[in-house]
Amino acid sequence: MKLLIKLVSRLYNIVLILRIVINWLDLSPEAYPPVKLVYRLTEPVLEPLRRLINTKAGFDLSPLLAIILVWLLAKILVDLF
């Protein structure tokens, strides 16, 4: 169970890092199907975080916060099991 939790959290963190790179490169989800997949996987987590964080400065910190939260959640779950 611990291995599965670690694997899923690492894979999701990789997807979140891809989302950061996609944002930097300004790739459109409509133009690239893999980008659309990354958006579909990450947006349910990032959208609520954006409401908590002030993004008016022009830099979206929600993916970084999501990476930290996924890491913390995985650590807690691994310690429980």
Two tokens at 78?
Answer: 């691994």
> What Rg, from alpha-carbon coordinates, does the chain have?
14
Question: In the chain, which ranges are continuous DSSP H helix?
Answer: 2-25, 33-52, 62-80
Instruction: Check if the beta carbon of residue 68 is closer than 8 Å to that of residue 60.
Output: no
45: nearest Cα among 9, 6, 76, 78: 9
**What pLDDT, on the 0 to 100 scale, is given for residue 7?**
98
Distance CA 23, CA 39 (A): 10
Question: Each residue's pLDDT tens digit in the chain (81 positions)?
Answer: 999 999 999 999 999 999 999 999 999 999 999 999 999 999 999 999 999 987 777 788 999 999 999 999 999 999 998
